[in-house]
Amino acid sequence: MRALRVDSTLHELPVPAAGDEVRVRVTLSGICNTDLELARGYMAFTGTLGHEFVGVVDDPGTSALPRGQRVVGEINAGCGTCPLCTAGDARHCPTRTVLGILGRDGAHADYLTLPARNLLAVPDGVADLHAVFVEPLAAACGVLERCPLAPGDRVAVIGDGKLGLLCAMVLAAHGANPLLVGKHAGKLAIAAARGIATATDAPPRSFDVVVEASGSPAGFARAVELLTPRGTLVLKSTFHGTTPVDSARIVVDELSVVGSRCGRFAPALELLAGGRIALDPLVSEVISLDRAETAMATAARPGILKVVLSR
């Protein structure tokens, strides 16, 4: 099978056996900023990239899943026996692998394997091109899981890339009135078309909650500036490198800093099934897996949103 490895080139690899897991034939996979960061050395990953996908069950292994079932998959594969896993949440299992990120080959290939418990059926009314967004949409939903909003909270999102746009859309879909702060007119227009307020800047100390989704160290500093005393900063960005932190401001203003990584897939699927999120404007290009190297270069270009790899 074809597989896009962390060196950003396409390789021929053996088709994986299902074994105790389920083999999925990937239909579409999405390139995200984490893939680009992994290719730059983030996490010292060495395998096949990709963690956003939609596909069909090719070999159910020992599970009862029907062949041909259209699925998406939670990316954290836990041990299944620790207290976190038995409680139904493997996201912080101490021995977990993570699809295309940590110890497990990813989705930018013709096939992948995941435990059956990780796979969720895609509702019939959700197109593949929308289902491929379930993982980043779930990450956006994770903001509300980590930082439930109180009525009247003033909320801003820093960054008008894919994740920032999804965070703003999710917040709006749940009744908040976020301000999306970015610097690209075309990307801000996508949010504005959904009735979301946008700006290229905002006054300092004006928001109770700020979601940092810019993917840059400068976004952290800007987010801190926008928070009111005792406000909450939700960090979504991951990247290769370090972030300078003004700890004095955090201490003096008694700010809360909350990390938010992976969200649960079920809320994201519900949003998609209800047609509450506009995803078509976020797709910049659909490129064949045969042209994976070109796709990675395209995804890294300024102004590009989602690049999707087709099979």
Q: Does residue 109 share a domain with residue 198?
A: no
Q: Tally DSSP H helices, then E strands, for the chain.
A: 10, 18
CATH number at residue 288: 3.90.180.10
Q: Which two tokens stand for residue 295?
A: 């796709």
Residue 279 has pLDDT above 90, yes or no: yes
Q: Does residue 118 share a domain with residue 195?
A: no
> What residues pair up with 59 in beta bridges, in sequence order?
23
Q: Does residue 155 share a domain with residue 225?
A: yes
Sequence letter at residue 270: E
Q: Does residue 112 share a domain with residue 147?
A: no
Q: Which two tokens stand for residue 2?
A: 């074809």
Q: Does residue 66 share a domain with residue 43?
A: yes
Establish if 266 belongs to a structural domain. Answer: no
Q: What is the pTM of this model?
A: 0.94
Establish if 41 belongs to a structural domain. Answer: yes
Q: Does residue 110 share a domain with residue 6?
A: yes
> What residues pair up with 17 in beta bridges, in sequence order?
none
CATH number at residue 158: 3.40.50.720
Phi and psi of 52, rounded to 5°?
-105, 120
Query: Which conformational region is residue 71 in: left (phi greater than 0), alpha (psi within -120 to 50 degrees), or beta?
Result: beta
- The total of structural domains in the chain comes to 2
Q: Which of 247, 199, 256, 200 is nearest to 227 (CA)?
A: 256
Q: Does residue 120 share a domain with residue 147?
A: no
Q: Does residue 77 share a domain with residue 188?
A: no
H helices of the chain, in order, are 33-39, 83-86, 128-131, 134-146, 162-173, 185-192, 217-226, 247-252, 265-273, 292-299
The mean pLDDT of 261-272, rounded to a whole number, is 96
- Look-up: residue for tokens 């096949």? 48
What is the Cα–Cα distance from 75 to 50, expressed in whole angstroms? 10
Establish if 267 belongs to a structural domain. Answer: no
Q: Does residue 104 share a domain with residue 14?
A: yes
Establish if 265 belongs to a structural domain. Answer: no
Helix, strand or coil, per DSSP, at residue 44 = helix
Q: Does residue 177 share a domain with residue 232?
A: yes
Establish if 185 belongs to a structural domain. Answer: yes
Q: Does residue 119 share a domain with residue 26?
A: yes
Phi and psi of 256, rounded to 5°?
-100, 135
- Look-up: residue for tokens 């994201």? 268
Mean pLDDT of the chain: 96
DSSP characters for 51-78? -EEEEEEEE-TTS-PPTT-EEEE-SEE-
Q: Report the pLDDT value the prediction gives residue 85, as an integer from 0 to 100.
A: 96
The mean pLDDT of 95-121, rounded to a whole number, is 98
Establish if 274 belongs to a structural domain. Answer: no
Angle (deg, nearest 10), helices 162-173 and 185-192: 20
Sheet bearing 103-104, strands edge to edge: 76-77, 97-99, 103-104
Establish if 248 belongs to a structural domain. Answer: yes
The mean pLDDT of 49-60, rounded to a whole number, is 98
**What is the span of the domain harbouring residue 51?**
2-133+279-310
Residues 292 and 5: beta-carbon distance below 8 Å = no
Q: Report the pLDDT value the prediction gives residue 242, as an integer from 0 to 100.
A: 78
pLDDT tens digit sequence for 117-165? 999 999 999 999 999 999 999 999 999 999 999 999 999 999 999 999 9
Q: Does residue 244 share a domain with residue 157?
A: yes
Residue 240 has pLDDT above 70, yes or no: no
What is the Cα–Cα distance from 99 to 19, expressed in whole angstroms? 17
Q: Report the pLDDT value the prediction gives residue 238, as an integer from 0 to 100.
A: 75
Q: What's the pLDDT band for 216 if we cut at 50, 70, 90?
A: confident
Assign 3-class secondary structure to 16-33. CCCCCCEEEEEEEEEECH
> What residues pair up with 18 in beta bridges, in sequence order?
none
Q: Which two tokens stand for residue 89?
A: 């949440």
Q: What's the pLDDT band for 2 if we cut at 50, 70, 90?
A: very high
Establish if 48 belongs to a structural domain. Answer: yes
